[in-house]
């Protein structure tokens, strides 16, 4: 049931009760074409700020993803100075940490990609709804 264009009657004593003497009009939602261009541009700027945040998360995820690769490179380069059996406990600990870092990096990258796609769709929707400013949004 839609409440647009109707008025609700409220009692000041409690919730959920109706009273005949107080009426609060519910405003209708503005149409997309009635929004001023400044508000639409502010929405786009907000989405672009979220997009920059997603790109920062993507960059962080790639950096976290690269840490285990560099650790493995150091272990391989120095492998002639130790026997794996002698340092097995430390080796297992390092491998568990590498797996955790790989999982964290993968999560950050995938989450950032999903958010970037969603933000691109939001900007595309705004461009479709408001054709007058679509030429200013790339």
User: Which residues of the chain are under the pLDDT cut of 70?
Assistant: 1-33, 138
Residue 36's pLDDT is: 85
Residue 12's pLDDT is: 47
Q: Is this model's pTM higher than 0.85 or not?
A: no
Fill in the DSSP letter of residue 24: E
Distance CA(137)–CA(116), nearest Å, equals 16
Residue with tokens 């999560």: 107
Tell me the CA distances in angstroms from 2 to 7, 16, 22, 26, 28, one per residue in order: 11, 18, 20, 11, 11
Residue 31's pLDDT is: 53
Domain extents for the chain?
A: 1-30, 32-129
pLDDT in tens, 36-57: 888 888 999 999 999 999 999 9
Which two structure tokens, joined as six digits, stand for 108? 């950050």
Residue 131's pLDDT is: 81
Kindly give, in sequence order, each residue whose CB lies less than 8 Å from that of residue 64, ignoring residues fewer than 6 positions away: 101, 104, 105, 108
Tell me the CB-side half-sphere exposure of residue 58, using CA atoms within 13 A.
13
């Amino acid at each position: 049931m839609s409440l647009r264009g109707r008025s609700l009657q409220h009692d000041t004593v409690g919730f959920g009760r109706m009273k005949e003497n107080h009426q609060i009009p519910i405003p209708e939602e503005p149409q997309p074409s009635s929004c001023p261009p400044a508000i639409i541009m502010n929405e786009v700027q907000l989405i672009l700020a979220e997009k920059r945040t997603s790109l920062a998360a993507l960059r962080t995820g790639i950096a976290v993803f690269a840490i285990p690769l560099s650790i493995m490179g150091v272990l391989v380069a120095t492998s002639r100075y130790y026997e794996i059996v002698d340092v097995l406990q430390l080796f297992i600990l390092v491998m568990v940490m590498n797996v955790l870092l790989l999982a964290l990096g993968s999560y950050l990258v995938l989450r950032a990609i999903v958010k970037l796609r969603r933000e691109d769709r939001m900007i595309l929707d705004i461009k479709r709804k408001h054709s007058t400013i679509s030429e200013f949004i790339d």
